Amino acid sequence: MEITEGVVIESFEEVPEVRVVRIKPSRWLDFKPGQYFQVFIPDGDDIKPYSVSSPPSNREYIEFCVKRVEGGHASNFMFHTEIGDKLKMQGPMGRFVLQDNIGNDIIFAATGTGISSIKPMIQTIFERGTDKQIWLFFGVRTENDIIYKKEFEKIAAKNRNFHFIPCLSRALEAWRGERGYVQDAMKRLIKDITNKDVYLCGVAEMVEQMRKIAEELGFTKEKIHFEKYV
């Protein structure tokens, strides 16, 4: 697979400890919502996968959304990128992608930067237009940690069939939304699984628990799509 060079055109902290990095590739790379690139980390021989968090319709740049991991080599490098920095990347890769024709309602569930691969899927669905019901269960600690909050609220304001459900594990008293883990919220709120697909992305533990819950609810294996970030 070909290696492409890109230059950082924007880099900013989206929420505490999570940075959005926008890269203009030297040539355009077609990708599907949900795919990732292997990014070469210049100081050392490291190469790490990062999901594209922008939709393919945006041909201005390829966006990554990176959580800084304490002592992490690649994430700290990505976190400290500045405008003008050059990066090499290989891809696109990955089979966790949005189907071309959405025949069913979709339940998305993500934790933390697992939202990176799911955001372009949701953006693409609503760019194309849909009459299906789309849910997003998004697990983070506090309201300040809700990555891409404005983007999702905008989609929800325009589309009554988009149900944006942040689930906070350490919510303040004033929080009126869901508390606890995405697993519990989905179990409680999704009763009827007819004509529904599930897409899961995030840390392995959440994905495994959600797969189990989805199977208990009656979802067959081919209706459960997932990507683990470890």
**Residues at the contact surface with ligand FAD, assessed by CB under 6 A:** 36, 48-51, 64-67, 69, 71-76, 94, 113, 116, 227, 229
CB of 115 to ligand FAD, least distance (A): 8
- Helix, coil or strand: residue 15: strand
Give residue for tokens 């944006």: 164
Residue showing the smallest CB distance to ligand FAD in the complex: 72
Residue in the block written with tokens 């009126």? 176
Looking up tokens 């997003």 gives 136
Nearest to 113 by CA among 28, 14, 10: 14
Beta-bridge partner residues of 111: 139
Q: Which of 95, 86, 7 is CA-nearest to residue 51? A: 95
Question: Nearest to residue 111, comparing CAs of 31, 38, 185?
Answer: 185
Q: What is the spatial distance between Cα 94 and Cα 31, in angstroms, rounded to a whole number? A: 10
Q: How far is the CB of 167 from ligand FAD (least distance, A)?
A: 18
Task: Kindly give, in sequence order, each residue whose CB lies less than 8 Å from that of residue 86, ignoring residues fewer than 6 positions away.
Answer: 5, 6, 7, 8
Nearer to ligand FAD, 36 or 181 (CB): 36
Which is nearer to ligand FAD, 66 or 213 (by Cβ)?
66
Quote the least distance from Cβ 135 to ligand FAD, whole Å.
Answer: 21
Nearest CB to ligand FAD, comparing residues 43 and 192: 43
116 vs 196 by CB, closer to ligand FAD = 116
Shortest CB 97 distance to ligand FAD, Å: 12
Under 8 Å between Cβ of 7 and 81 = no
The DSSP-derived string for 99-158 is -SS--SEEEEEEEGGGHHHHHHHHHHHHHH---S-EEEEEEESSGGG-TTHHHHHHHHHH
Q: Which residue's CB is nearer to ligand FAD, number 144 or number 195?
A: 144
CB of 49 to ligand FAD, least distance (A): 4
24 versus 228: smaller Cβ distance to ligand FAD: 228
CB of 69 to ligand FAD, least distance (A): 4
Closest approach of ligand FAD to the CB of residue 107, in Å: 20
21 versus 185: smaller Cβ distance to ligand FAD:
21
